[in-house]
Structures are given as structure tokens and as C-alpha cells.
Structure 1
Amino acid sequence: MYLGALFIADTVFSIGSVRETARRLSFSASTVSSALRRLETELAMKLVERASGELATLLASSKVQKSLQPILSAMRQLSALTKEPPAPENYAQWAARLPLKIATIERFLEVADQGSINRAARRLRLGQPQLSLQIANLEELFGCRLFERQAQGSVLTDAGRDVYAILASIAQAWDEMKAAADERFQRTARAVRIGSIIPTGSESWVARSLASLVARWNISGNRNTLSLMLMTADDLREALRSGRIDVAIVDSVFGLDAFEHMELVATDMVAIAPPDSTEQTLTALVENHPLCVPSPRTGIGNAAMAFGFDSGDRRRFRGRDITSADSLPVIVDLVANHGYVSFLGRVSAAPIADKVRIVNPDHVLPLSYHLAHNGRRASIDACRLIQEAVRELVGRPKVDSVQPSGTMPSP
């Protein structure tokens, strides 16, 4: 969640109009609406609705707006510490575009509390280079060093301590707002929230499994309602950890050790190439076509990059300009219509064989998709129905029960 999106949402609540907010902040109406939807998703509650063409704020929005005020006040303090503080008349434009994520703030605070980027990276289950880059981006925003790197770790500078105090107040206000929203949601809703990696299309095993889940769920007469959300693999992990979803279909269980999880589909990685391509080897495809792959935070992206830098041929991806996209429909379209090459699990590539050309790598590269859940009875019921649907679609062997945390059934 970006701080800029919170400022935009507060402006909508105050003005009561998406279009007027867009005009004042020099945004498109779709950008303003997107910021509202992100906040609604984060808080798992509806904040606005349209009635007779007009925007109507709901009762929950006034409570959320009140909770936002400490964050907005801290943002104004923060603006004075940035490398290029905005003029008073330009503050609203600056605040609405502040690209600072709550997650980045929490990671900065963790580094400060741990006194070490390496220790913080281990606790956050992040790569040390990724965390270092986020700290460097923060230092670029404020135009100064926030940490003094020492042999025994990282210590806040004077400027870093000033920034820490403000960011800590933002994190605390956000946590309190999320906690209050979660409590209200738990009292008023009995939905099982299913999060899934974005499918390649309606013909994919993911989309068909979710459709089958809905049909089976309604037939079963389960009293809980279903809510389906499609996200990137990285967002799914954070959503499960924060409690915004109950069940996740992911292509990697990295970072989900605290949750019960099981292997759902075992497959292998293949390359997908333009249908009119003629290269017979993967090496030739990589040499002659631009690449677009999911980010390394995903299971497929990580496997693809590991393949590109494997010990057999370290030149495969070296020096290549590789586009990263966590939207599989976009990747498939780039391959099918724009001459790109990418990678997918075979089980995901097979249904779109009429759109792309499937090329096998020289060696088998195992991949697997997984189910993870929070242990609720309804979550376990949903997992079993997903298993049944997948088993019928792709021939996954039957699994009688969800496995304990960290264990995987045999494929």
C-alpha cells in the first residue's frame, strides 16, 4: 500500500467525488478509483459505492478517514525531511504521488531495530540485495544517509533517527487501522477468501479449478461465502501473512513456513515461444528473441533465472535486457503476438498450445504449485474442493488431508 494512495483516498472521502479529486490532483479518474480499490482490498471492506451515478461514501469510510489522520499528519512532517521538500501550494500533488510503501517502511524499521541489514533480511525472509536496494531508495528520497554502515552492523544516523520517529508513527497508525478493520470484518463477515496466482486465461487449470470450486462450494451448501482474488505471488504471501486471505494458490511456498501447505500440482518448466518461430533449441530462442519472465520473487521467475545462470551455460541471460512481468496474460500476449520468449510450467503452457509454441529445455526443470491456508475449518474445506478439481483437470493423485506445515505429499 502506497502512502500516496492513502492521501488520494482521504481526498475522495473529503470531497465525495472521484472526478473532482482527479481534477484537483491532476490524475485520471481511473487512477483515483484504483487507489480507493487498493485501500478497500487492504482493509477487506467496502468504503464507497455508486448510487444514481453519484459516489456515496459508506459509514465505514468516515471511521477509516479518522484513522488516516495520524498517517497524513506524519506525511506532512516527512515532506520537510525529503531531498526536495514541496512548496506549500504543491504539497497535495507531492503527497498524492509519494511512492513510499507501507511494506518498505516496515522493512526500514526492522533494519533499524535489528541493527543489521543481514539480520533484518533473514527475519523478513528477503534477499539481502533486495533489502539494501529499498534502503538505498529511501536514502535517495531523503537525500542523505539513514544508516552508518559499521563492521558490526548498521546504526541510524541523526537524520535516520528523525526519519525513524516519523515512519514508526505511520506504521503504528496503519497497524491500528488494520487491526480495527480486521475486527469489524471478523464480526460482520463469514467469507472464505481465496487468493490465487493470476491465471494465463480462462482455459488455464487455475481458472478452471477456481470455477469448479465455486460450483462445488455452492452445491455443498456451505454456510460461508466465497471471495476470490487474483494477485501476484509476492502479494499472495503478504496477504496470507496479514490475514487478508485464508487460502492461497501459489507457485512457491517460500516465506509461508508458518502456514499449513501442500503440493497441489507437480510439473516442469518449459519455454513458450512465438508460434511462427523456427529455432529448435532454447539457447537459439534466447539469443534471437527478447525475454519477458515473471519476477524472481515467483517460483517460475526464480527457476527461469536460475536456469539462465546455471553452471552449464552462464552466458544464456548474461547481458540481456529481461522484462519482468507478474501478469501471465500479459506474458502470453507478448509471446503470442510480439515475438517474445518466456517460461511457464508445462501444466500452464499446455492449454495455450494453440497460441504459443512449447519448447522443451535440455534438462528437466521441476516446478510445483502449492496450496497454503490459515487452518480455519472452512479454509480446509476449500482446499479439499480445490484438490478435487485439480485432480480431475490435471490428474493430480488424491491427497486425503491437508499436510502439516512444511510437509509435502509425494507427487
Structure 2
Amino acid sequence: MELRHLRYFIAVAEEANFTRAAQRLHIAQPPLSRQIQQLEEALGVQLFERNTRPLKMTDAGRFFYSHAVQLLAQTAELESMTRRVGKIERSLSLGFVGSTLYGMLPKIIRRFRNENSAVQLSLHEMSTMDQIQALKEGRIDIGFGRIRHEDASIRRIVLREERMIVALPLGHPLSLSKPVLSLRDLLGETVIIFPKSPRPSYADQVLAAFHDRALEPQRIYETRELQIALGLVAAGEGISIVPSSVHGLKRDDVSYMELDDSNLVSPIIMSTRMLDESEDIRAMLELIYALYDEERMEHLPPAEH
């Protein structure tokens, strides 16, 4: 059994379909099927129930999957940490979702570079779910996202819960009638959500905020990214619920209003590989908490180790 067998098996298990798994792995389907058969022969057990749609794992397959994911993640951690130890000039690769750039992330990056000049820092914009995969594969070392996704091989640190606010066209009647808005006030508006894909995303947090309160907006407009959503708001196409850090993005054609529910929040989550306790990652985390304290910004306390 080789590492490629684990990668192939995990892809098939997660996609529940040989065709999609082959596309994900960038190989043809027949070789993939043969590799899975070889793996089953080597183990002496059947890992998939072949006659089900979507494809389902057997009990043995589910057991093997949970351990294969951990083993592959540990391999990526070992490779990444060994490369870092072996380099005179260390490197740290960060993944981030676009909306985090309007908060403290730029200041965090500048401060880290100033204080850790020996570390080569690289940045990659990617969705939270893409960050999880990139962490497992060793392509990034830290991810900054907003989605609470459980994965046994990923360590999640919720740094802070960012309040949601409403972006409205300048002069909108709602901005003139009330000092603070509720979600119920927005039901008659077109609610512009982002990003349209990939999902789950911040868009699902906004939709869940309505659904959890038994509310249903009359109209939903999905768009690709935050900047487009704000442009549509400015054009009078609707309103958008955005993280409060976006308030710092000055526009003379959009106004922002607070929401009356303190539970309407979107988390800022830092993700790393579960076993990666490198000096550079610890330095990054300590710097983040120090900056939050300097800025007197509300945040969740660091976990005790």
C-alpha cells in the first residue's frame, strides 16, 4: 500500500463517485478503479458498496477513511515541517478569504513581516473549504476563513466573532427612519449575498441568520464577491449584510447600519494542521492576540495548552 492509494481512496470516499474523484485527481477513471481494487485486494476487505448511488463505504471503508485522512495529513505535516527545519530562510504560506482583508489581516501581515524578517511569507486567496484541502496537502500552513468546518486533521482557532451590519444605498428610507435595524426590517428588500460559489460560504451564514429566526427574505440576489455586492447596493439594486470590518471601506454611495441582535456574527477562524506546532505558527498566533489587545478589539481568549 502506497500513499497514492490513500489519496485515491480519500477522493473516491469524499466524492462518492468514481467519475468526480477521477476529475479531482486529474486522472482517467479506469486507472482509478484499478487502484482502488488493488487497495481492497491488499487489505483483503471491500471498502465500497459498488451497487449504491451515490457510492457508499462499507463499515471497513469508513474505518479506513478516518485513519487514512489522519495519516495523509500527518504526512503533509511531516513534509512541510521537515522542509521548514531544513531551510535557512524559513517560509510560511497563508490562505485567506477576501472579506478578511477588510479587518486586521493586512496589519497582522505587515507586523509579522517586520518582526520575522527571516520568514518568507506568501499569500493565497482561497475559500475556507479550499484552505482545508490546501492545509492537508501541505500547500499552505495557515488559513484565515469564516466557516466552522469540522475535520479531524485540522486545528481550528476562533479568533473573534465579528458583528454583521447592513449596507444600504445612500439615502435609503430605512437609514432615515431608524437608528438600528432588525432582520425583519429587511424582509421587503432584495438581499444581496456573496460569494455565490463555492459553498458553504459567508452567504450561507447570512441565509441561516434569517432561517434561524423563521424569517424569509422576499428576494435573494447572489453575486460573486463583496465588492460586486457593494456596487449593486450603491446602484440601488438591494441591501447586503456584511461583516462590520467592511465599514472601514469608505464609499460615498453606501451607508452602513447596525443590527439589533448581538448574536448576528461571523467568526474569524485561523486553521492549521492539527499537529503543526511550529515556532512560526506560534509567533503568528501570539502576534494576532497582541494586536487585538493593542487595538482594544473584542476577541475570544486564547485556548490553554
Using structure 2 for the length normalisation, give the TM-score: 0.61
Shift of 1:384: 1.6
Structure 2 contact 144–269 (Cα < 8 Å) conserved: yes
Check if 1:392 corresponds to 2:290.
Answer: no
Structure 1 contact 199–329 (Cα < 8 Å) conserved: no
More strand by share: 2
Distance in 2 (CA, whole Å) between partners of 1:241 and 1:323 is 30
1:297 corresponds, among 193, 200, 212, to 200
Change in Cα spacing, 1:393 to 1:233, as seen in structure 2 (3 Å) is farther
Query: In the alignment, residue 192 of structure 2 is paired with which amino acid?
Result: L
Shift of 1:343: 1.9
Deviations 1:103-145 (A, max 9, x none): 9999x989x95439xxxxxxxxxxxxxxxxxxxxxxxxxxxxx
Find the counterpart in structure 2 of residue 329 from structure 1: 227
Structure 2 contact 191–238 (Cα < 8 Å) conserved: yes
Query: In the alignment, residue 345 of structure 1 is paired with which amino acid?
Result: P
Distance in 2 (CA, whole Å) between partners of 1:357 and 1:104 is 50
Shift of 1:246: 0.8
Q: Alignment partner of 1:210: what SS?
A: helix
Change in Cα spacing, 1:361 to 1:197, as seen in structure 2 (3 Å) is same
Determine what percentage of the aligned residue pairs are the same residue: 16
Q: Alignment partner of 2:270: what SS?
A: strand
Distance in 2 (CA, whole Å) between partners of 1:353 and 1:194 is 26
Distance in 2 (CA, whole Å) between partners of 1:385 and 1:260 is 18
1:344 corresponds, among 230, 242, 254, to 242
Distance in 2 (CA, whole Å) between partners of 1:103 and 1:206 is 34
Check if 1:230 corresponds to 2:125.
Answer: yes
Structure 2 contact 170–255 (Cα < 8 Å) conserved: yes
Change in Cα spacing, 1:240 to 1:284, as seen in structure 2 (3 Å) is same
Shift of 1:234: 2.2
For structure 2, the residue ranges without an aligned partner over 5 or more in a row are 1-18, 37-45, 58-71
Shift of 1:204: 3.5
Deviations 1:213-253 (A, max 9, x none): 322333xxxx3322222222222222122221111122134
RMSD: 4.2
Shift of 1:352: 2.8
Find the counterpart in structure 1 of residue 158 from structure 2: 263
Structure 1 contact 273–340 (Cα < 8 Å) conserved: yes
Q: Alignment partner of 1:381: what SS?
A: helix
Structure 2 contact 146–267 (Cα < 8 Å) conserved: yes
Change in Cα spacing, 1:386 to 1:228, as seen in structure 2 (3 Å) is farther
- RCO comparison, higher one (Cα < 8 Å, 6+): 2
For structure 1, the residue ranges without an aligned partner over 5 or more in a row are 1-81, 83-98, 117-146, 157-174, 405-411
Distance in 1 (CA, whole Å) between partners of 2:220 and 2:48 is 35
Using structure 1 for the length normalisation, give the TM-score: 0.47
Deviations 1:369-411 (A, max 9, x none): 1222232222111222233234334524595x6655xxxxxxx
Structure 1 contact 213–385 (Cα < 8 Å) conserved: yes
Structure 1 contact 273–285 (Cα < 8 Å) conserved: no
Change in Cα spacing, 1:263 to 1:103, as seen in structure 2 (3 Å) is farther
Distance in 2 (CA, whole Å) between partners of 1:224 and 1:341 is 42
1:246 corresponds, among 141, 153, 157, to 141
Distance in 1 (CA, whole Å) between partners of 2:300 and 2:114 is 20
Change in Cα spacing, 1:361 to 1:226, as seen in structure 2 (3 Å) is same
Check if 1:195 corresponds to 2:95.
Answer: yes
Distance in 2 (CA, whole Å) between partners of 1:354 and 1:377 is 40
Change in Cα spacing, 1:238 to 1:274, as seen in structure 2 (3 Å) is farther
Distance in 2 (CA, whole Å) between partners of 1:366 and 1:207 is 21
Structure 1 contact 197–233 (Cα < 8 Å) conserved: yes
Shift of 1:305: 1.1
Query: In the alignment, residue 246 of structure 2 is paired with which amino acid?
Result: A
Query: In the alignment, residue 289 of structure 1 is paired with which amino acid?
Result: T
Structure 2 contact 161–299 (Cα < 8 Å) conserved: no
Change in Cα spacing, 1:200 to 1:226, as seen in structure 2 (3 Å) is closer
Shift of 1:211: 2.5
Change in Cα spacing, 1:322 to 1:115, as seen in structure 2 (3 Å) is farther
Change in Cα spacing, 1:257 to 1:306, as seen in structure 2 (3 Å) is same
More helix by share: 1
Distance in 2 (CA, whole Å) between partners of 1:114 and 1:271 is 47
